Amino acid sequence: MSRIAYVNGRYQPHRRAQIHIEDRGYQFADGVYEVVLVHRGQPIDEGPHLDRLDRSLRELRIAQPMARAALSQILREVVRRNDIDTGLVYMQVTRGVSRRDHPFPTKPIKPAVVVTAKRVVVPDDEKVEQGARVITIPDIRWERCDIKTIGLLPNVLGKQQAREAGAFEAWQVDRTGMVTEGTSTNAWIVTSKGELVTRQANHAILNGVTRLSLIKLARQEGLRFVERPFSVEEAKGAREAFISSATAFVTPVTQIDDRVIGNGRAGSLSLRLRQAYFDYMAGA
């Protein structure tokens, strides 16, 4: 079955989808995006994702490309046309096409919209039990990481560094030695006292939608939870660690750099939250 993409008003074969060479997303990374998990053919946390998309557009002063209901319909139609049961749908909005110049165009232009979808395979239990390895790298990104912009070059470089090191993810570390987040995930630890910790949402991190769902689930589960920075050394001495995102769900971390976390297997609280998240998806 050929993949189908939505590009600026048209559904077309993915292999033929095109944008203009002077789209400001291509020229300047002048745009934003969202990635939404699809489970049993239904988008998970669609509302919060669209809320964050609206916020990112406001922060970059990009006009709304269409009404929310219309964008939601396109999202679901792309999922339907691609016959996605478990997968991801990607939405991107750029400022649009204009003669190349750094300032915003002086005349109104129409934002460009792209929506694509793909299937994903959920890792089996054994792979999850083994956990993932992460490395730590300096955080070289700009100071507005709270905006989900398509300008992801530092993230790309960090993810490639992780891959070349045989790791799944790279945790970025600020100048004070505190972990901010992964290149495409949020970072969590469980302290020796059983306290669940993740960095507070500010300009230093992207406030992940999966992160927000997990915070709600943690509170429902009665877990001791706090939002604060944690250092690399604290993370390496933690009882458990894990990462979260729409693509990683809840993935236990069993090694940070050269340090094994806990007993080198997925921790019980990480697995508990992973199951709670799957139960949440099933009921969405």
Kindly list the catalytic residues. Answer: 148
Dig out the tokens for 230 from the structure.
């944690």
Q: DSSP assignment, residue 261?
A: P
Selection from 268, 139, 274 nearest residue 199 by Cα = 139
Return the beta strands (E) in the chain as ranges: 4-7, 10-13, 31-39, 42-43, 87-94, 112-119, 132-138, 169-173, 179-182, 186-190, 196-198, 225-227, 240-245, 249-256, 259-260
Please state, in angstroms and rounded to a whole number, the distance separating the CA atoms of residues 51 and 71.
12
Q: What is the DSSP string of 51-96?
A: HHHHHHHHHHTPPP-S-HHHHHHHHHHHHHHTT-SSEEEEEEEE--
The CA angle 122-215-235, to the nearest 5 degrees, is 80
- Token readout for 170 is 């790279």
